[in-house]
Amino acid sequence: MCGIVGLFFKRGAATQALGPLLAGMLSQMRERGPDSTGFALYGDEAPPGAFKATLRAPDGGYDWAAFEGTLANAFQVVCPARKYGSHAVFTIGSDPEPVFGWFAQHHPELDIFGFGERIEVFKDVGLPDAVSQRFALEQRAGTHGLGHTRMATESAVTTEHSHPFSTGPDLCLVHNGSLSNHNRLRLSLRREGIRFATDNDTEVAAGYLTWRLRQGMSLTEALEAALADLDGFYTFAVGTRDGFAILRDPIACKPAVLAETGDWVAMATEYRAIATLPGAAGAEIWEPRPATVYSWHRQ
Amino acid sequence: MIEVDLAQSSVRELNQRLHRIGPGDNEHHWRVVNPNGAHAVAVGLTAPVHVEIKGHVGYYCAGMNASAEVVVDGHAGTGLAENIMSGSVRVRGNAAQSAAASGRGGLVVLEGDASARCGISMKGVAIVVGGSVGHMSAFMGQAGTLVVCGDAGHDLGDSIYEADIFVAGKVASLGADCMEKEMTPADFDRLADLLGRARMAADAARFRHYGSARRLYNFHIDHAAEY
């Protein structure tokens, strides 16, 4: 099963409307994925020369203040960290690579769930309303966001195995389905320098897109290449810094609904998640065609 | 006219009320508002009632329908009118995948498009689609008629047994053991009658007829000694 939602405002600055609307959509997908819930938000931009990293600690009682102190000795911490229990968002004035090297050496207990100029990624075991509340989703602004409720089939029910998966700057992916050639593909992508944190099949699809984008492909080209290289069942929703895309496999057993108005594009596994949005009744609504890339970019 | 608001009432309450209608009851006209993509709306009806649903429905709307006339004034999700036995189901918008799957009888009219696998394993239902159908429509169809006024996607009628398919537009490709067949005067009359019953303003002369080549499933007499 699994449930996917995505909401993309076509223009304008980050809006406070995003968090509550995404939380409402996720809530409707509760029955499709009671194991875990996750979401990615594209919020305020990091200042030039800095990047945002969403870090996840082993437990909610982690001493983020102490960590922030040691981090500030090694790198410039551009603005105060935002802390949400086990997760925290840091804005760091550096290239990401030296910071990740420092994390690996000094704080191997932390997971990096997402990094880039705008992305923030939160995920945990639990039902959508509880996870949304845990990470204050209803108070969060952004221009677009993706969410996922998981019913696990291919790997364990843990926070690390939850979606979204983010394997490159500002890129994230949520997936309904299962991939059958992920082990072999993971090996070849590792040789290309893509890092994987888990044995999850969806993380391989995210890593594949990161690799293709790194080669200079556009998001649409990367997804078209995925049609040839990924084997399995999938409906994907993908977020980038300024973009949003949907792809279903050629058999298209995994459901998907798209809706578009003058203001927004929304995607969900079932229409009932879209029905919660303002203007849904007047939206253009359709089922995305198999093996067809749909993508939108903010101007 | 009885109106049920799904913002106030649950789908289960609605369906139970519809199931309780007896032969002598006079509750013939129902109107359902605010479906908001709810699943299993108006499933399992057995009384000859008219139910109009104002808005988009989720999965399996009007499944197992017998005798009732269900109209969706919106789009429908996966598995509309699955296993329909008799009566009719009409959707004024589009239907998602597997519409009228394994339907045994009755009439399903989709005024817009149908997605993949429309009429999969159909067993006697008549389906009329005003727009186009997705891939593998009428897959393993055993009996009944699928009429497509627009185009058909890939692998139309794959592994078909004995259902009839009529398409006015382009067919992307035929599935295994599906072939174009002669349009006999009887076929033409049957198609014209069905278009009329569906209130679909399409000219029966524009359609081509497809069906089973009967090479895939038939028991072959030369192999009789093998058993």
Picking from B36, B39, B116, the nearest residue to A252 by CB comes out as B116
pLDDT of residue A79: 87
Per-residue DSSP letter, B114: B
**Average pLDDT of A235-261?**
96
Backbone angles phi, psi at B137, to 5 degrees: -75, 150
Rounded distance between C-alpha atoms, residue B43 and residue A53, angstroms:
49
Chain region(s) in chain A for CATH 3.60.20.10: 3-45+122-297
Chain region(s) in chain A for CATH 3.30.70: 46-116
| Band (A271; pLDDT cuts 50, 70, 90) | very high
pLDDT of residue A230: 97
pLDDT of residue A108: 96
CB B102 within 8 A of CB B123: yes
Question: What value of ipTM does the predicted structure carry?
Answer: 0.89
Q: Has residue A225 got a pLDDT over 70?
A: yes
CATH T-level assignment (fold) for domain A3-45+122-297: Glutamine Phosphoribosylpyrophosphate, subunit 1, domain 1 (3.60.20)
User: What dotted CATH number matches B2-216?
Assistant: 2.160.20.60
Q: Has residue B219 got a pLDDT over 70?
A: no
B91 interfacial to chain A (CB closer than 8 Å) = no
Q: Say yes or no for a CB contact (<8 Å) between A270 and B115.
A: no
User: Per-residue pLDDT tens for B60-95?
Assistant: 999 999 999 999 999 999 999 999 999 999 999 999
Pick the CATH number of A46-116 from 2.40.50, 3.10.20, 3.30.720, 3.30.70: 3.30.70
| Band (A292; pLDDT cuts 50, 70, 90) | very high
Give the strand pairing for A232-239 and A243-248.
Answer: antiparallel
Q: Has residue A275 got a pLDDT over 90?
A: yes
Q: Has residue A3 got a pLDDT over 90?
A: yes
pLDDT of residue B149: 98
**Average pLDDT of B151-159?**
97
User: Per-residue pLDDT tens for A96-117?
Assistant: 999 999 999 999 999 999 999 9
Rounded distance between C-alpha atoms, residue B172 and residue B151, angstroms:
8
Q: Which of A124-128, A135-139, A159-163, A230-234 has the lowest mean pLDDT?
A: A159-163
- The b-or-e profile of A47-75 (16+ CB within 10 A means b, else e) is eeebbbbbbbbeeeebebeebeeebeeeb
Picking from A252, A271, A289, the nearest residue to B37 by CB comes out as A271
Mean pLDDT of chain B: 95
B159 interfacial to chain A (CB closer than 8 Å) = no
pLDDT of residue A264: 97
Cis peptide before A169 (omega within 30 of 0): no
Q: Is A172 one of the catalytic residues?
A: no
